[in-house]
Amino acid sequence: MQKILITCEHGGNQIPEEYRKYFRTHQDLLQTHRGWDPGALELYKKFVAVGADASFFSETSRLLVELNRSRHHENLFSVATKEIPAIEKNAILEWHYEPYRKKVEETITSFLAQNHSVLHISVHSFTPELNGEIRNADIGLLYDPQRKREKAFCALWKEELLIENPALKVRFNYPYRGTADGFTTYLRKKFPDESYAGIELEVNQKFPFGDSETWLKIQQNIVQSFRAAVEH
């Protein structure tokens, strides 16, 4: 049996009180796409509401520590936290980074031990424009092309998305590569293709920042098409 795991690593831009001193000059940055993924947590909750076997989210800003990066990545800590004392960094890793990632990994391990496979959807959103470049997509499905289950599911999900809403521009491995450093990439190294499929869902932030009725419709399109693809 396949188990559905839904996560949202960038659901908010909160900073724990003990670290706010490092963000006194970065308040504006916290409000931008660099601080969080607007709309992602709302969409995550829609997925959970229609059925998930396990779900995890974080509302702590990625500017404190980047949950979607490996420990060795140069952007694990941000401009606000990169130069803080090592003891503080270690505390952030111990209390905010490791617990989240460990819970997700342990949940997958538990499902596999019960002879289930896992389909993991990591919910994100992306800024419509970056460094002067307009992102030419409404929805991105990020996966590893070498992983057969991921590739097949994304093809099916795209079909169902376009049935739900033919006007949507859906692209694979855009605006980022599915094999770039990320939590799903890390998990693929831990679990084989037949047991684990990890897909990052990227939704254009023009929708949560736009008309509320259109945004609600887009969320419904995404969730309903996902369920149709799962039940196919």
- Look up the domain containing 35 and give its range: 2-231
Rounded CA separation 84/42 (Å): 32
Confidence of residue 8 (pLDDT cuts 50, 70, 90): very high
Token pair recorded at residue 85: 């004392």
Q: What is the DSSP letter of 53?
A: S
What pTM was computed for the model? 0.97
Per-residue pLDDT, averaged over 76-80, amounts to 98
Domain count, the chain: 1
Task: Report the length, in residues, of the chain.
Answer: 232
* Per-residue pLDDT, 33: 95
- The SS3 of residue 137 is coil
CA 219 to chain centroid: 15
- Asked if 12 contacts 126 with a C-beta cutoff of 8 angstroms, the reply is no
Is the bond preceding residue 175 a cis peptide, omega within 30 degrees? yes
> What pLDDT was estimated at residue 37?
98
Q: Say what the pLDDT of residue 73 is.
A: 97
**How does pLDDT run across 176-214, given as a tens digit for each residue?**
999 999 999 999 999 999 999 999 999 999 999 999 999
Domain CATH number, residue 66: 3.40.630.40
At 158 the pLDDT is: 98
Outline where 127-232 has alpha helix (H). 148-164, 183-190, 212-231
What pLDDT is recorded for position 111? 98
* 67, 97 contact by CB (below 8 A): yes
Give the pLDDT score at 116: 98
Percent of the chain's residues with pLDDT above 70: 100
pLDDT band, residue 1 (cuts 50/70/90): very high
Mean pLDDT within 85-89: 97
Q: What is the pLDDT of residue 208?
A: 98
In whole angstroms, give the CA distance from residue 230 to residue 193: 17
How many Å apart are CA 57 and CA 2, to the nearest integer?
A: 21
Q: What is the pLDDT of residue 223?
A: 98
* pLDDT at residue number 230: 97
pLDDT in tens, 114-147: 999 999 999 999 999 999 999 999 999 999 999 9
3-state secondary structure of 216: helix
Write out pLDDT tens, residues 96-115: 999 999 999 999 999 999 99
